[in-house]
Amino acid sequence: PGNASSFAVFATVRMAVLECWMKEACEIYLQSSGSSPATYVAADSDTDDDEGEVDKELNAPARIPKIVGVGLRSVFELIRESRHTYPELCTRALSALLDVIQGQQPEGLKAEPAEVIEPLFKLLLELATSSGEPPTSHNDGSNLTAVACACLLSLVVVRGETG
């Protein structure tokens, strides 16, 4: 529902181009190796129905095991509590999270369950808006609030909504 973001459009076009190049590369490889490309034609199948079922499966919210949710909530709480006692550890954890989030496609986490994304969003929002850093800290990109803000912005892009 709603128009696709420019990030999603770019990612979709990029994916289509890469798929086309990969298909061409596979065809060239198969021709050069003397193999004929394998073709599969399903008898009595309606591809439109199959595509509709695949779309429904892709758009269905993902279900995660409860233990994963418990583990993630524990990690989020550790990050939240470590910002005062071990700010360097908290910043390093957020930097690692930022690397993971930035490696995702725009709107790549759109189908992830809200019970995982929402606590992360709230944690990052809390960390990004907190003023717990000493005023003498340098703004060299290692500032806790700066890294939390970068994580928050990246999460919004990969989630595809503003919360």
pLDDT value at position 61?
A: 57
d(CA 162, CA 149): 14
pLDDT value at position 44?
A: 46
pTM value is 0.57
Would you kindly state where each structural domain of the chain is located, as residue ranges? 1-39, 66-159
- 27 has a pLDDT exceeding 60: yes
Report which of residues 151 and 163 the model is more confident about.
151
Q: Count Cβ atoms below 10 Å from residue 68 Cβ, excluding itself.
A: 11
Average pLDDT over residues 91-120: 88
Name the residue with tokens 């199959």: 50
